Every structure is written in structure tokens, then in C-alpha cells.
A and B are shown apart, each in its own frame.
Chain A
């Protein structure tokens, strides 16, 4: 009896110790690591959608998020400081939508030196050590927008187009405008002589002179009506300046056929000004990005079409890739999250609703 009891006691003690070790191991979970997500500005539905994706990915991969943005897209200095703050907080990775392609390089180099990987979303930067750039392809987006604009302009038998750009020199503005201009010139024989050579942008690297010549050639070859790009102005991504620019265009060209607005603030500004001036439907608006205001403008006839990006997917993949970087996994250096041209014909399609309302998307009906 006694040896059995002794061995039972030993076994019991062993099992107890083992269990305590296992349970101890379980309970000793470390606190969550943090990933910083720094975007361009506050108070925009676009960035709110990106943040939704960020939060979903953080929930799936198990991180805390330090999310911040300067008040406006003009506050480059503040964005620089936010990067330094993130480094100070010893975040594990930085996901950033740089306002300017070059101005953050020093701060991002500091992050890299501290072993903090950098992933760019929405807009690219020239910092070479960035691990990935996740964005819509702005050139493609501009091109798609340009093709659809061309079809609408053909239906109106040609016309004039003015571009309400958001930020001069911003990578995404250059891409979108360049793609748009190329599509209209190469696809529909548009004339770019209405904008100055200094303001001219081509996605494919055409010179100003080549573009004028190519437009003429295409127009004549296809017998297209005259389509003229008459102006391009920037607004520092501020809605009120976009409205002023819109008003100036409509004043200067009362018969303007189309406005191309290159981001959310410019689209909202253009729509608002067109409505104010009672020119809804008379002037077509091709917009960019999809907030509640844009969808309302579309359903009420002010906005004819827009390019829906997938900020949700950018935020989602940004954090997911940051997580992979932290784990030492390989990630692609460039991801095109795609864009979708949205108009009244596809507004209610599930894939469009997924882009427009990621927060309310529930179950796709198989």
C-alpha cells in the first residue's frame, strides 16, 4: 500500500506542477504590440474607410493601433512630427500615407534605423527602404475615369473639360490627371491646348507638343467631335478652394461640359458649387472617391460618375503586410488594390457596395 501511495503522491505532484506550468504559460500572455497608422488628414470619409480596414486587420492579427493624422493635407510638418512620435512610442511598424513624396524621408529613415518597417498606403514616397506600397494605381484610375469621361463626352458630341486638381505635385494627383489626360487624348482625340505647358501632365510621358499632335490625329482618324481640356487648377486638397476653382471655371467657361475632380474634397467642392450655381446636369462632374456626399450627389444627378478606390483594402492590407514584416515574412513591394468606376448603373452591385460601405457590408448573397 505504502509504495503505491508514495508513487501516487509523486505522480500527483508531478501532474500538478505540469498543469501549473501549462496554465502559467497560458496566462503569461504579453501585452499587444502597436502598429502606427498615419494618414494625410482628419475629417474625411476616405480616411475613415481606411481606418475601418486598419481596425479589422488589427483585430485579426492581434495588434493595437496608434492612428493619427494632421488636421489637413497641407500640414506636412505635423505629419513629420507624427512619424517621430510613433518612433518614440516604440511601435513595431509604421503604415503611412505620405502627404508629400519626399519630405518624410529623414523621419522614415530614423524609423528604419530603429528597426521599424515602413509600409506606404494610398500615396507613394521616395523613401527607398519602404517595404511595400499599397494603393490604387492612380494612373490606371485616371485612365478608367478618362475612358468613361470620353464616352460621356461623345454622347454630348464633345465639349470642354476642366480639371479641379487636389494637390499640385502629389504623386496621386500626377497619376490621376496624367491617366485622365492620356485616355482622353489617345482614346478620344482631346485637345490639351487649353492648359498651359507648365500645367500639362501626361501619364505616359508624352510631351505637350506630342499630346496636341496626337489628339488631333486621333480626332481626325476617328471623326470624333472636339473635346478640349480648358483648365487645371489645384486647391491643396481643401474643399473651399476647390469650390472657388469650380466657380472660376464656370464663370470663365459658362458652357463647360465637364469637370474632373481628382479627390474627395475636390469632388465634394465641385458638386456643391455646381448645385449652388444651379448648373446641376448641365455640367457633368466626374469625381473621385466615394463618401456619403458623393453618393448623394450621384443619386440626385449632380455627379455622373466617380472612381471608387478601396481605402478599406489599403488600410486592411497595410496592417496585414506590416504584421508580415514584423514576423519577417516576405511581402510584395507593390500592390494595386484596384479602382472601380461607379455610376448609377452599377451603384447597387454587391462589389460596389463593398467598396462604398465596407462598414455595413455583411453577407454577400451567394
Chain B
């Protein structure tokens, strides 16, 4: 249950981390786009306003130059006056343009209104002499007109400065806001990172737990296999001789036949029942053990040995053995049975009857058929007196 929780919380953290990263990315893109639009707008408006203010100031300077030329008798007065009329009309046009620029600060507009008021006063002074340009003399110009131009121009310059300062403040404010949001984004990003880190930690724990479980299962499997093998060994072993029994032969016979024809020898001790009855079962058992040990030593790895009944042995020769060498080994094993063995204080021997057979799998498909076949041959040999090795 606890493991399940860890797993789901790890996945949850991953999802949270991923969502946060996605949010940060999308939000950052939107933010950058907004920031650019807004700062571009601010810059464009400030530039437009500045442009129109400069245009007004330039026209005013042009008017003042032309008035000075009229005052100084330095040109066609009527032509100059017409040019002044045009400049005033241009100023009206630029004022209109300026009034359409959005986002002007109150302070800027206040200063601008003062500037245009002085321009208007200038125009009024000029217009009052428009029909009598000779009355526009140097005293009037210096004392009453020129100061208006100076003041209006100063106010326009101040308006430009305020505009510039205001737009810079706006941009700075925008930039501060942008940075603030960016910091928040970074914090969210870090939170996402931490979530992912926790998720990875949780996954590591989970993997560790899984590895432990797998190790436990492996250990259990191994123990089970050992236990099974032990059980199988007991089932497939002749308790008396420790050799593999008939069941083991049955199991392993299929493997032998799969490899093709093979050589086998089957031995059965002659009159084992009479032996037991004469010397007792203990001596009989001891005799079997001694014989078995002797056969094992003789055979080594050259054949598998089975104790398929209490008094019968079956040898299935290794495929590396030729027919001849296998038969020779079978003869040597046959010789073991006829010898004297000292058991306790008795010297005993007991012959056996054997059959050496070249087995074709098609003739004996399983161990039962094989044993039935050899039993028949052994019975026949025993009927003829036993103590012999028959080659079938």
C-alpha cells in the first residue's frame, strides 16, 4: 500500500513539474510578446509626440525668422506674411496630429497647453499688425513678440523632455514589472524542478524496492529449485545403492533416444533371492553395495549406471564409446560379479547374467519397452544356466 502511494506521488510530482514547465514556457512567450508590444507602443507614441512637438517648434522658429525679416525690411513683407500664415496653419495641423497621439501624461499636456497658449499669443500679436505690416517695428518685436517665441519654445522643449522622461519611466516600469514576473516564472520553474527532483527520488526508491523484491523472488526460486532437486533426487535414487533408479532411467531414456542409437548393458544377479535366504538380507544388501561401488569405479564417466531393480543394473554407455569399447567395458563389469568379496567375516560371490544391446530408438521407444526387451533376453539366458554375457 505504501509503495503504491510512493509510486502515485512520484508520478504526481512529475505531472506537476511538467505542467509547471509548460505553464512557464507558455506564459513566458505571452509575456515577452506583451512586453514587446507594449514597449514598442510606448516608444512609438513617444517618438510621434516628440516629432510633432519638434515640427511645431520648427514652424515657430520659421515664423519668428520671417517676422524678424519683416521688422528688418529684409524682403517682400506680404510674401513673408503669407509664409507666416502658412506656418501658423501648419502648426494647427501638427497640434491636431499631436492631440491624436495616445498615452500622454498629465504633466506633459499641462506644459504643452502652456506652450501653445504662448504660440497663440504670438499669433494674436502678429495678426493685430497683419493688415499694417509697417506697424510691426523692432521695438514691438523685441519687447512683446520675441519673448513669446522664447517662452513658447522653452515650453515645447520642456514638453519634449517630459515626454522623454515619461516614456523612459513607463519603459522602466514595464521592465520592472516584466522582471518581477520573470522572477516569479523562475520561481515556478524552480518549483517544477524540485517537483521533478522529488519525482525522480520517488522513482529511485520505487526501483530500489522493486530490485529488492526481485532479489527475494530469485532467492526463493533458487531455494525452491534446490528443494525440488532434492525431492527429485530422492525419488529417482535407489536408497540402498545410491544409484539412479528405474524412474530416473525412464526420465533420462528420452534424452538418450533423442541422440540416436546407443549401447546399453543390463545385468541381473543370479539367484539373489537364494543368496539372501542363505546369508541374510543384511549381507545381501552389503554385497550389493560393494558390487555397486566396484562397478562405479570401473565405469567412471563412460556410462550412466542405473539400479533398475533390487538386483539389476543397467548401463547406458556414453555416446563417445564405440560398440567395441562399450562391449569391452560390459565384459569387465560382468567380471565384477563373479569375484569373491569379503563381507563381515564371510567370503561371498554371486554371478550375474548380462545382456549387451545396441538400442535403436525405433525398437524401444521408452524405458519400459527397453527393459521388457532385455528382460526377455536375460530370462532366456538364465534358463540356459545364467552366468553369462549375451550380445543381443
**Is this pair of chains taken from one and the same complex?**
yes
* B-binding residues in A (CB < 8 A): 1, 5, 8-9, 12, 15-16, 19-20, 22-23, 26, 56-57, 59-61, 136-137, 140-141, 143-144, 310, 313, 316-317, 320, 335-340, 349-351, 354, 361-364, 366
Name A9's contact: one of B113, B147, B162, B193 (CB within 8 Å).
B193
Given A12-B190, A339-B143: 5 more A-B contacts, CB < 8 Å: A16-B190, A23-B179, A140-B142, A143-B143, A335-B150
C-alpha gap A74/B144 in the complex (Å)? 31
CB distance from B247 to the nearest CB of A (A): 56
Name A336's contact: one of B139, B146, B183 (CB within 8 Å).
B146
| Among B115-123, B227-235, B257-265, B341-349, the stretch in contact with A | B115-123
Pair A60/B161 contact, Cβ less than 8 Å: yes
Interface of A, secondary structure class, is helix
Is B296 an interface residue, CB under 8 A from the partner?
no
CB distance from A145 to the nearest CB of B (A): 10
Is B253 an interface residue, CB under 8 A from the partner?
no
Name B182's contact: one of A8, A19, A351 (CB within 8 Å).
A19
Name A16's contact: one of B121, B150, B151, B183 (CB within 8 Å).
B183
Pair A351/B121 contact, Cβ less than 8 Å: yes
Instruction: Find the B residue at minimum CB distance from A62.
Output: B165
* Chain B residues within 8 Å of A336, by CB: 146-147, 150
Is B248 an interface residue, CB under 8 A from the partner?
no
Instruction: Find the A residue at minimum CB distance from B161.
Output: A60
Instruction: Find the B residue at minimum CB distance from A187.
Output: B139
Query: Would you give 22 A-B contacts (Cβ < 8 Å), ordered by A?
Result: A16-B183, A19-B179, A22-B176, A23-B176, A26-B175, A60-B111, A60-B165, A140-B142, A140-B147, A143-B139, A316-B158, A337-B147, A338-B144, A338-B148, A338-B150, A339-B147, A350-B121, A351-B118, A362-B113, A364-B113, A364-B116, A366-B99
Name A317's contact: one of B118, B154, B187 (CB within 8 Å).
B154
Instruction: Find the B residue at minimum CB distance from A57.
Output: B158
Sort chain B's interface into a size bin. Answer: 35 or more
Is B210 an interface residue, CB under 8 A from the partner?
no
Instruction: Find the B residue at minimum CB distance from A27.
Output: B176
Is B189 an interface residue, CB under 8 A from the partner?
yes
Among B116, B121, B124, B200, chain A packs the most CB atoms within 10 A around the CB of: B121
* Chain B residues within 8 Å of A317, by CB: 154
* Chain B residues within 8 Å of A16, by CB: 183, 186-187, 190
CB distance from B34 to the nearest CB of A (A): 17
